[in-house]
Amino acid sequence: MAAGAFFFALMSLMVKVVGTRLPTMEVVLARSVVTLVLSLALIRHLGVSPWGKRRRLLFTRGALGFVALSSFYYAVIHLPLADATVIQYTNPVFTALLAALFLSERMGGREVAFALAGLGGVLVMARPTLLFGGEAPALPALPVAVAMTGALFSAAAYTTVRALGRTETPAVVVFWFSMVSVVAAFPLALRGFVLPRGWEWGLLLGIGVATQLGQLLLTMGLREERAGPATAVAYLQIVFAAGLGFLFLAEVPDRWTGMGAVVIVLATWGLYRRGVIPEPGVASGGK
């Protein structure tokens, strides 16, 4: 679980580095192509059909995942690495709300309180001038809004995955996500296309490989350990992101980021303990 969290944080670092010159959609396209090739190889190994049984819902999951992935990568490129990672961890809050709305799952007063606390943690990190005055420099509003959009669409994608879990294998779900993302990102990446340079090709490949390794290791961890302790370790992704940001980008998280992270982690953990969401934070890098 710790190794999986590290690879997701490493993926975010590579996205931020390569995204300083390459457009976001090019990075999304490269990641999706690598994931598509790897998922096709896995499907062939398993001997299952890639097309699945509920194609409309599979397409919907792919489209939601594409928006989530694009938003997350934009946020990673334009926000400090730790801040973008922490905001992404609000997706379990949205998952709980969407599951209550569309899957008829229960959500009482305490669950609502945890959800509001999680969103409040984002306000602490963003520090909007309207609420905080001039006490601390605010994060740029657009990247924060895009990051929140990514978390919301991640939650919507996870909600569809929970509905698909009864009929579709994970390999098929990943295949559709990758296929839809390639088709959607390709025309957008052509606009203002920038040819990658030598080391950038390696980073683009590394983004896809690190994502696959993160997903594989997290899955292995959940299989070998009880969900509670295992997913608690998954929160190390925030620590790894902060450490990599400091080591390679000279980013120093401030006390507002720390306080917001504590609030968001406690809120999502509270929702998990109440049985509202499954395994908080496990798939934050995979979408």
* Interatomic CA distance for residues 176 and 145, integer angstroms: 27
Q: Which tops the pLDDT comparison, 134 or 182?
A: 182
Residue with structure tokens 């306080």? 259
Cβ contacts of residue 257 below 8 Å, gap of 6+? 80, 82, 83, 86, 125, 242
* The pLDDT of residue 21 is above 80: yes
Distances (CA, A) of 280 to 178, 186, 259: 23, 32, 19
Q: Using CA atoms, how far apart are residues 277 and 279, in angstroms rounded to an integer? A: 7
- pLDDT tens digits along 140-183: 889 999 999 999 998 888 878 777 877 888 888 889 999 999 99
47-63 pLDDT, tens digit each: 999 999 899 999 999 99
Domain map of the chain by residue range?
2-273
**CB of 87 within 8 A of CB of 144?**
yes
Residue position matching structure tokens 């334009």: 78
Q: Which of 10-14, 18-22, 212-216, 282-286 has the lowest mean pLDDT?
A: 282-286
- Count, residues in the chain: 287
